[in-house]
Structure 1
Amino acid sequence: MHPAFSVIFLTTLIGVGQGLFLALYTGQLYALANLLPAQSSNFYAVGSMVSLALLFAGLIASFFHLGHPERAWRAATQWRTSWLSREVLALPAAMGLIFLYGTVHFFDLTKPLFVISGTLPVDFSLIMGGLGTFAVFGLFLCTAMIYASLRFIKAWYSPLTVANFLFLGVASGFMLAAAFSAYQGTSLVGFYGTWAVIATLFGLLTRVATLYRNGQFRCKVDLKSAVGVHHSQLEQKAQGFMGGSFNTREFFHGRSQGLLNLIRYAFLLMVFVVPVILILLAYVLESETLPLLAFGIQYLGLILERYHFFTEAQHPQNLYYQSMA
C-alpha cells in the first residue's frame, strides 16, 4: 500500500497522546496507593493539555487525506459495521474526557466525593480518569481494527496488529511522560521510564513476531490463476496503458526492497534499542535531557515504523497494476 503521511501522523500522534494520558492516570493511582509521591494538580493539568494537543494534532492531520473534508461528518454514520466510524466517535469521546480530567486538576477540584471502605477517597478526577481510560483503550482498538479487520490484506489481518498499536502507543506515551517529568523536575522519571522500557520491550516482541509472520507469506494467486493460462513461462510485460492511475498510486508504494530493508533496520533501532539505552543512561546519570532525547528519537522511529507498516501490505490487485510499461 502507498503510505499516506497524514495517516502516519494521525496514528502516531494520537498514540502518543493516548499513552501519555494513561501514564498520567497510572501515576495518580500509584500516588493514591502511596506507592509514589503525590504530584501537584498543575502536573496533571499541564500533562493532560499536552495529551489533548497531540490528539487534536492527529485529528487535524487526518483531514489532509480526505478528498472532501467538509463531508468528514459522514464517516460517523456507519458505526454499526465500520471500525473507521467507531474511531471517528471514540476519538472525540476520549478527547472530551481527557479535557474534563485536565480541567478538574487545573481548577483543583479534587475534594473527595466519597470514600470507599474508609480508605479510598474518590474525587471527580478519579472518575473522569477511569472513564477516559476506557475511552482510550477503545480508541486503540478501533484504530487498530481498521487494518486488522481487512481479510484480504494478510499482513494486517492478525491480532498482532492490535497489539502493536497498543504497545507502541503506550511505550511512546510513557516515554513522553518520563521526558515531561524530567522537564517538570519531578521524581517520577524513573517510574515512567521503567514502564516505558517494559512497554517498548513488549512492542519489540510483537513487532518482530509480525515481521517474521509477514515474511513467511506466499501469495496463493499469481498471473497464471489470474488469467487462467498455466504456461510455465507466463510473464507480464505491461498493464495495458502507459500512464499511472489511482490503482498505481494508492495500492503500491513504488519503493525498492533495499530501501524498505533500510527503513526496517532504522525503525527497529530508533523505536526499540536507542530509547531504552538512553533511558537507562538517564537513570544512571540522573540526566534531565536524555529522556527528552529518548522520546524524540523514538517518535521519529515510530514514523518510520508506521511507514513500513503500510508498505508491508500487499494488495492483490498489484499482481496486475504494479507492472507498468
Structure 2
Amino acid sequence: GIHVPWLPLAAIAVAALLWYCTAMIYACLRFIQEWAQPLTLVNFTLIGLSSGLILASALAALMGESALLRVSGPCALAVTLAAWGTRTMSLRRNAALVPRSTLQTATGIRAPKLVQKSMGMSAGSFNTREFFHGASRAALKQVKLGFLVLGFAVPALLLLWGIATQSSLAFVLALLVQVPGLLAERWFFFAQARHPQNLYYQVVS
C-alpha cells in the first residue's frame, strides 16, 4: 500500500482543531458564565485526548500491540489525570460564581426583594423545555459525583492496573467505564449552565 507519513499528523491536527472549534461554540457565549472561561477549551481538549488514548490503548491491548501500548497506556493515564484536575478546577470556579443576571437587572426594578410569581403563560413552551433540565439539586450532585468517579477516577485506577500488569482486561474496562462517565459529564456541562432567559420562565402561573 501507499505510505503517507504525514497523514497521521494531519488527522491529529484536524482533531485538535475540531476540539477547539467545538469548545469555542460555548466559550464565546459571554452571558453564560459557566462556559465563558479558558478552562472550557482546556477541558474539551484534555477530555478528548483522554477518551481517544484510552480507546487506542484498549484496541492495542486487544490486538496484542505491546509496543504501542507501552506508549499509549502511560499517556492515557497522564492525560486522564490532567483532565480530572482541570475539570475539578472548573467545577470549583463555577460553584463560586455570582450571577450577573438577576430579576433586578432583568426587569430594571431595584427592589432588594423581588420574587417572580408567573412566567406569563399557563402551559410550557420551547423556552421552558429546552433551556432547563428540570432535575433537582440533589440529582445534579449525584451526576457530578458519578462523572468524576466513572469518567476519571476509576479509569485512572484501571489504567494503573493495566500499565503495571499489561492486562488487556484493565484497558478494556477503563474504556467501558469511561464512556457512561463522559456522557454524564456532558449532560452536567449543559445542565450547570444558568441561562439568563430562565429568569422569565421559572414558574407556571
Per the normalisation by structure 2, the TM-score is 0.94
- Contact persistence 1:174–1:192 (CA under 8 A): yes
- Aligned-partner residue type, residue 63 of structure 2: Q
Structure (1 or 2) with the larger CA radius of gyration: 1
| 1:151 CA displacement | 0.9
| 1:174 CA displacement | 0.5
**RMSD between aligned alpha carbons?**
1.4
What is the aligned partner in structure 1 of residue 56 from structure 2?
A: 177
- Contact persistence 1:252–1:322 (CA under 8 A): no
Aligned residues: 204
Change (3 A) 1:284 1:127: closer
Deviation per CA, 1:171-194: give whole Å up to 9, x if none.
111001110011101213232111
| 1:274 CA displacement | 0.3
Within 5 Å, give how 1:1-325 maps onto structure 2. Answer: 108-110=1-3, 124=4, 126-187=5-66, 188-325=68-205
- Aligned-partner residue type, residue 167 of structure 1: L
| 1:140 CA displacement | 1.2
Equivalent-residue separation in structure 2 for 1:262 and 1:286 (angstroms)? 33
Deviation per CA, 1:144-200: give whole Å up to 9, x if none.
111111111111111111111100010111001110011101213232111001111
- Aligned-partner residue type, residue 128 of structure 1: L
Per the normalisation by structure 1, the TM-score is 0.60
What is the aligned partner in structure 2 of residue 68 from structure 1?
A: none
- Contact persistence 2:47–2:80 (CA under 8 A): yes
- Contact persistence 1:238–1:323 (CA under 8 A): yes
Equivalent-residue separation in structure 1 for 2:104 and 2:44 (angstroms)? 37
- Aligned-partner residue type, residue 286 of structure 1: Q
Deviation per CA, 1:96-143: give whole Å up to 9, x if none.
xxxxxxxxxxxx323xxxxxxxxxxxxx2x122222222121111111
Equivalent-residue separation in structure 1 for 2:96 and 2:168 (angstroms)? 43
- Contact persistence 1:175–1:295 (CA under 8 A): yes
| 1:255 CA displacement | 0.8
Moved over 6 A (4+): none
Equivalent-residue separation in structure 2 for 1:215 and 1:312 (angstroms)? 9
- Structure 1: give runs of 5+ residues left out of the alignment: 1-107, 111-123
